[in-house]
Structure 1
């Protein structure tokens, strides 16, 4: 099956490799490009670092001020983010194996009232970690360490595949990639063709960004394993 993958690089190629191992062909057309902001990081002290994405880990690890935070306990939203945090050198990583609410719950259980948490993230976030922790007495310092720049057009291979009706499924990891894909398909006059594709979504929030489509399925859990299980 030809599967459209629109998540940013390098994650898109990692997903493509998993699809190939499953016997599928990946059509990679990233709808977002991740770029570090280089913004100054807030002053400490901090008791922990909380990651809601792999990109947050990568951007913090590449930051000139990373050494100041490397020894802190790290809490990661899921397995891939946890692996990235370990590879970045964090000595203690907690895999919260869920979503932002699960991450907030683990942080609240592990840290005392008044603890301060650094949250390296992007400009656009699916959840407000600070709001989720407000009732637990934890303080979250948000650091915008990366930006996601939207694509302005579909790639030629994607346009051709949509026009020919050869895409068997599209994988969707975030509302913003969905919205960018819909906009690019509309500009190409292929929005109707895109809506006929089978759409597989990481969460209900991602699915909601699609609007009306012929076939939409939501993963049983917000991780790539559950998403690929829909194929």
Structure 2
């Protein structure tokens, strides 16, 4: 199958390799790109904290920008939203990793197993824009936390003729969507290109139900059984 991969680089290239190994024909078209804030990371680690949390692998990549200065924090309990984020943290050298069930709300429940009201402080490295589910769930549990915005996802500029050129020989068999912001950017690019969703693909595969919500009503979209890439690719 011919599959459009919309996630940011370099993750898009890793996904493309997986798709090729599965016998598919991947086409990479990143719609968002990350800007890391190294200064915010350094300032964040200067705050008192008993544990660290992230809800995306991109936040882990932002932490990597700290270089050798990160070594002093690698033994701190580290809460990761899911298995992919946990793997990225392990590759960076974090040793005490607690893995959530894939959502911000579930991660807050995992955090509550270690921290509670007046029993410690959490340092949450987050991106912009983001959903507020994790922070809302922390507040509901009265868990002391500080949010450090360590990266921003920005749209990648594409000429209006980019998508029409990619579907000149016919629509894709599937489009992979990993985030709400990517889905929003795709809808905007479709509008700028004068295309409908059906012109690009008959199937849109979404990492979560919240991603699907961004697509226009009536679009044929499937949601992964779990918010991870393995589940997403299994829809193919």
TM-score (norm 2): 0.90
Q: How does 1:1-231 map to 2 (within 5 A)?
A: 1-40=1-40, 41-42=43-44, 43-63=46-66, 66-114=70-118, 115-153=120-158, 158-194=163-199, 196-231=201-236
Query: Residue deviations 1:69-93, cap 9 Å, x none?
Result: 3331111111110011011111111
Q: How far did residue 169 of structure 1 move?
A: 0.2
- Secondary structure of the structure 2 residue equivalent to 1:187: helix
- Secondary structure of the structure 1 residue equivalent to 2:38: coil
Q: How far did residue 68 of structure 1 move?
A: 5.0
Q: What is the aligned-residue RMSD (CA, Å)?
A: 2.0
Query: Residue deviations 1:145-173, cap 9 Å, x none?
Result: 11111022269664323243230000111
8 Å CA contact retained: 1:163, 1:193: no
1 CA distance for matches of 2:160 and 2:94? 37
| Structure 2 unaligned residues grouped into runs of 5+ | none
8 Å CA contact retained: 1:196, 1:214: no
1 CA distance for matches of 2:231 and 2:159? 27
- Secondary structure of the structure 1 residue equivalent to 2:85: helix
Q: How far did residue 47 of structure 1 move?
A: 1.0
Q: Which segment drifts farther, 28-37 or 125-134?
A: 125-134
- Count matched residues: 231
| Structure 1 unaligned residues grouped into runs of 5+ | none
Q: Which segment drifts farther, 93-102 or 13-22?
A: 93-102
Q: Which segment drifts farther, 58-67 or 2-11?
A: 58-67
